[in-house]
Structure 1
Amino acid sequence: MNDFVQCEISEGVAVVTLNRPERLNAIGPAMGDLFDRTMVQVGLDDAVKVVVLTGSGRGFCAGADMERLDDLAATAGGSFERLPPGSPHPVFDALADSPPEHRSRYIIPSALPKPVIAAVNGACAGVGLSLAASCDVRFASTDALFTAGFPRRGLTAEAGLAFTLPAIVGQGAAADILLSGRRLSAHEALRIGLVSVVLEPADLLAHAVDYARDIAENVSPRSTRVIKRQLWKARSETFAEALTTAYEEVVASLESEDFKEGVAHFRERRKPVFVGR
């Protein structure tokens, strides 16, 4: 049994670590399958309120394992089945009728019904960039480097990156990154909005976990679930449709247990005890 993907859960936060440091956490078939299972497990675990995704060693994820190109071509980069029916999936609900091979593992963070925070340390390349872009929030270490890399390998923008990246940095910056395949420093990534914060490598994971824990302790899981769905749904809505969705969700929230608890803990000046309903 390998430990290509490690997961530690504490105080409502799951830290998922890609653990193949000798390859800068490049994802091969075995590692990809374990990553799929791990992310599905934390996605369905009610004890997990927030997920932090990072890499061990000197890299976040250097992309797909280029030493396994035959496998990569045969499997279209890897895919996983849809999560069990009845759970809210902002992305894969919309792709329910698509072939399984189109449900790339590199966008599974966007499909989880809870926040996923990327703590990007070192190399973030190729589908590693797709993976980071599918997370909800990104922090980076000062030594992080970002690159699409695809065009310099004769490939195209994979795993929905032509959709996710412009939504984060804008069409012009996304075109620059994807068409050139050049490297971006952490500070350039901060300037264009690809990451929210740049920290010293020794401080990165602790900051990400503290941020995640604050959400886990103080924010309604129902609220984060619905807001994440709204953010993704709004990309295909008109403004009028987004306003309608917002109104409907607020009305539903007013009847929720978490709204009652939100008012009660504020009035009583105590920590909230949200139940996610």
Structure 2
Amino acid sequence: MDLKVTRLDVADGIATITLNRPDRLNAWTGRMHTEYRWCLQQADADPAVRAIVITGAGRGFCAGADARALEGHIEKGGYDPGTPAELPNPGYGIRPEFDADFAFHFGLSKPTIAAINGPAAGVGLVLACFCDIRFAAAGAKLTTAHGRLALPAEYGLSWLLPRLIGLAPAMELLLSSRIFLAEEAERLGLVHRVLPPEALMPAVYEYAAGLIRAIAPSSLRETRRQVYTDLHRDVRASVEHARDLLDRMARGPEYREGVAALLEKREPRFWPQADAGGASAEELTAHTAPPAS
């Protein structure tokens, strides 16, 4: 695909998807939606990729739907997503509940980390919330935004946000559509960590490198799918599924390597050096951000 409003970079086992309309604070369009899904599909299918980082170019993460697109809905007499009939479908086919816009994140095989480098509004906040982990730059502004446009909560945020931070605070943010800062998001548990803007990307890459260096890919894949699947089922089903996974995964090579590393008091080696471009552990943690647009 010819990428015009996103960028995909892969280095040291980490794929970085950058929303790339910095002059518009990376406002969301049908083109961006299509490209983002394609980038995510490529990163999830790439055996050299162990973790996926999502961020924005310039000063913003994603300022929500593009104002011109919002105006276009009025002219067209209803909502038009601006996407082609056939879209890339990353994460599809794992569970029927995941086969929908943004819910497809739950079906991915690799962890996703949002690096919220600036404003995240509306669909931009939705995108961040559907990631597994969120880091944010100090002072970044967040908002659900939809209420001020006489719209409903977007893309399942009314289902997801209460599960992330609890019913009462989620209801307040959803009803008020007020702006809140990254620091409040951290207190609410929505953001894992808030950092100075210049420290955001190095910290995100260091965290991602730690995951892919120390945690088995099979464990990352199955654990995140357990968590998202368990949102739809009772505890007995969760326990039984965990038991079945335990039996299957304990017979695999990654389990043997994990036990060997524990007994030998060393870090596990879950993939060949070539999979991460020959990078050492030190090189992984030294990963820097891709070139700015």
TM score, norm. by length of structure 2: 0.84
**C-alpha distance in 2 between matches for 1:16 and 1:107:** 17
SS at match of 1:138: strand
Q: Give the one of 247, 267, 275 matched to 1:271.
A: 267
Percent identical: 35
1:229 deviates by 0.6
Q: Deviations over 1:194-236 (max 9, x none)?
A: 1011100000011001100111111101000000110001111
- Which residue identity is paired with 2:11? S
Distance (whole Å) between structure 1 residues aligned to residue 147 and residue 93 of structure 2: 26
Query: Mean alpha-carbon deviation: is it higher for 245-254 or for 209-218?
Result: 245-254
CA 1:90–1:30: 2 relative to 1, 3 Å? closer
Letter in 2 for 1:219: I
What residue is the counterpart of 1:31 in the other structure? 32
1:19-67 Cα deviation digits (max 9, x unpaired): 1111111111222221111111001111111001111111111112121
Query: Are 2:217 and 2:270, in contact at CA under 8 Å, matched by a contact in 1?
Result: yes
* Residue aligning to 2:236: 240
- Farther-moved stretch of structure 1 (2-11 vs 246-255): 2-11
Cα offset, 1:81, TM superposition: 4.5
Q: Which residue of structure 2 lines up, in the alignment, with residue 135 of structure 1?
A: 131
Secondary structure class of the residue paired with 1:60: coil
| Distance change in 2, residues 1:120/1:27 (3 Å) | same
Q: Distance in 1 between matches of 2:267 and 2:157?
A: 39
Is structure 2 residue 77 aligned with structure 1 residue 75? no
Q: How does 1:81-230 map to 2 (within 5 A)?
A: 81-83=88-90, 89=91, 93-95=95-97, 103-104=100-101, 106-230=102-226
CA-atom RMSD in angstroms: 2.2
Asked whether 1:45 is paired with 2:46, we answer yes
Q: Which runs of no fewer than 5 residues in structure 2 stay unpaired? A: 273-293
Q: Structure 1: which 5+ runs fail to align?
A: 84-88
Shift of 1:162: 1.1
TM-score normalised per structure 1: 0.89
What is the SS of the residue equivalent to 1:274?
coil
Q: 1:90 to 1:176 in 2, by over 3 A?
A: farther
Check conservation: 1:90, 1:232, Cα contact below 8 A.
Answer: no
- Alignment coverage as a number of residue pairs: 265
Match of 1:86 in 2: none
